[in-house]
Amino acid sequence: MLKRYEMKLLMIILLSAAAMNGCGNADESNQYAGAGSSVVGVDGDTKAPEPKTGNEVTDSSEENEEKNLELKYIELTEVEDYFGDKSMFDVYAPKGNTNENGYITYSDHGLTFVASVYNYGSDSFLVESLKSAVEYETEGWMDDDSEYTDVEISEVMENEEDRYQIITAKRNDLYGTPYDVKYIYYMDIREHGAGVFWDLHLSEITIDSETDSIIDELGKCYNVDLDAIKSDGGWASANEERISAEKLAKRLPETILWFNATYAPLTYSNDCDWEKVGGMDPSEYNMEFNQKVLSRDWSIEDKDSAMETIENLKENGHRAKCRECMEELEELGILDEKNPETFLQELEDSGIEENLYRYVIAYTMHQNGLDADYIAAWDLCRVNQLYADFYICGYMTYEEALDASLENSIILQKMYSSWEDMVNAYLLGYQFWQSDPALTDMSPTKRRYQCYLDLLEMENGPYTLDWGMELQKSW
């Protein structure tokens, strides 16, 4: 923006100097007065001027309909000849722009857009203005000590009466990773030597999923192919690799990651980082937040109540409640009923109303040869989760929490044969707790299962760890 303003002032000074030296009458060139006067065209031909119309702006909807444009990101707006006669010129610009003092500016989605009016009375001078702006922008880019590499500057290209140039280059970010820097400088030449000069600048570091759509739409408005200023995505890939490498270098020991993996579906559902103990960094805010959650969801207020909760989960948990459901069904004489329809009818007639689907799950487990201890994963995974929470809350030290997790995880590892086996048991226990029929995609159980599937597909995710690894103290 500063460079554009400097260039505009420079052009005004040059024109003023030219007028003072007798190289042209500024008033006549602006008014196109006098019979038989002519304007030199871009190609050196002369063309008879037409009466100045004031460059009125057409209604944007009519203009867009004429071009058959459906615009989502771009709008037809107007920019003032701030340094001239204050007339208004139409221009296509990204929506959400700022328009003041003769400049339309926009910066978002990795793109910067600037537009202003050049009203100097000569098409050839407009083209020279375009060239000068490009030269000014790229000054020093070719030097040996320049921060830019792979610099390419196009020749002046034609788009009917309009002219434009494209600049592409590379620049390194703070980590030495090269990213795309691309510009288009475009002179939209109007009648009587007036022009709307705009440029679009792409910086690959901050582009997003909408960047290419904005570029495409602007190109459609001006009937010019702007693919040359799109990014090839090289920086994004390289940056992701760098972040992954740094993350791996800082990764916790695999035994601790194994602990984290046991409660990773919950961590993921909370938009937290499974590779961190408790899904988050220890901080005063996280400590207070976790204390409130534990108080609300678990009635845990201090270390004593925390340890009582742990003991209850390890000894009883929802395994005990599942066992109670099986015992009630046995007393009703329907636990061994082979016909599911008969079972459901007799369950409905039994008078049981609260958490009815827990009884269906208990019955199904029994029919498939599973006892209540099968869903121990649901209880013991939460034990690991709580140990991590207690560390974040200050109820346990880091070493205490991990020592306890090690003891609990060794028990858990012996009970199941694989991550899949454990997660199936965990999800069945979760479904039992929710008393969830899981009939729709929005059921809590199906959503928690989707978290598992997402983690399963994750590169270097929790379930790429070896289930049968030797769990040992490494802290």
Which pLDDT does position 193 carry in this prediction? 84
| Residue ranges of the chain with per-residue pLDDT less than 50 | 2, 5, 9-10, 12-61, 66
Which pLDDT does position 84 carry in this prediction? 87
Query: For residue 111, which amino acid is it?
Result: L
Which pLDDT does position 64 carry in this prediction? 56
Which pLDDT does position 241 carry in this prediction? 87
How far is Cα 188 from Cα 194, in angstroms, rounded to an integer?
9
469 within some domain = no
241 within some domain = no
Q: What are the DSSP E strand ranges found in 60-110? A: 74-80, 88-94, 98-100, 103-108
Q: Are residues 146 and 284 in the same domain?
A: no
How far is Cα 11 from Cα 465, in angstroms, rounded to an integer?
65
Of the candidates 183, 180, 190, the one whose C-alpha atom is nearest the C-alpha of residue 133 is: 183
How far is Cα 184 from Cα 152, in angstroms, rounded to an integer?
12
Q: Are residues 330 and 458 in the same domain?
A: yes
Which pLDDT does position 250 carry in this prediction? 78
Q: Are residues 279 and 192 in the same domain?
A: no
135 within some domain = yes
How far is Cα 43 from Cα 24, in angstroms, rounded to an integer?
20
Which of 210, 235, 260 finishes a domain? 235
How far is Cα 97 from Cα 292, in angstroms, rounded to an integer?
43
Question: Residues 6 or more apart from 368 whose CB is under 8 A from it?
Answer: none
Q: Are residues 194 and 292 in the same domain?
A: no
Which of 203, 235, 267 finishes a domain? 235
Which pLDDT does position 63 carry in this prediction? 54
Which pLDDT does position 3 carry in this prediction? 54
Of the candidates 164, 170, 218, 223, the one whose C-alpha atom is nearest the C-alpha of residue 188 is: 164
Give tens-digit pLDDT for 87-98.
999 999 999 999
Q: Are residues 303 and 400 in the same domain?
A: yes
- Give the structural domain span for 148: 2-235
Which of 181, 201, 235 finishes a domain? 235
Q: Are residues 293 and 357 in the same domain?
A: yes
Of the candidates 274, 275, 359, the one whose C-alpha atom is nearest the C-alpha of residue 321 is: 359
472 within some domain = no
Chain-centroid distance, C-alpha 325: 46
Which parts of 138-271 fold into alpha helices (H)?
211-222, 234-249, 254-262, 264-269
Which parts of 332-443 fold into alpha helices (H)?
340-349, 356-367, 376-393, 398-415, 419-434
242 within some domain = no
Could you give the number of structural domains in the chain?
A: 2
Between the alpha carbon of residue 405 and those of residues 272, 389, 399, the distances in Å are 19, 12, 10
Q: Are residues 207 and 291 in the same domain?
A: no
Q: Are residues 68 and 174 in the same domain?
A: yes
19 within some domain = yes
Which pLDDT does position 55 carry in this prediction? 47
Give the containing element (helix H, strand E) for 17. helix 2-20
Q: Are residues 264 and 411 in the same domain?
A: yes
Question: Residues 6 or more apart from 207 whose CB is under 8 A from it?
Answer: 109, 110, 111, 231, 236
Q: Which residues pair with 195 in a beta bridge?
A: 118, 189
Q: Are residues 357 and 447 in the same domain?
A: yes
Let me know: does 183 contact 200? Beta carbons within 8 Å.
Answer: yes
Q: Are residues 130 and 163 in the same domain?
A: yes
Q: Are residues 256 and 224 in the same domain?
A: no
Q: Which two tokens stand for residue 414?
A: 């012996």
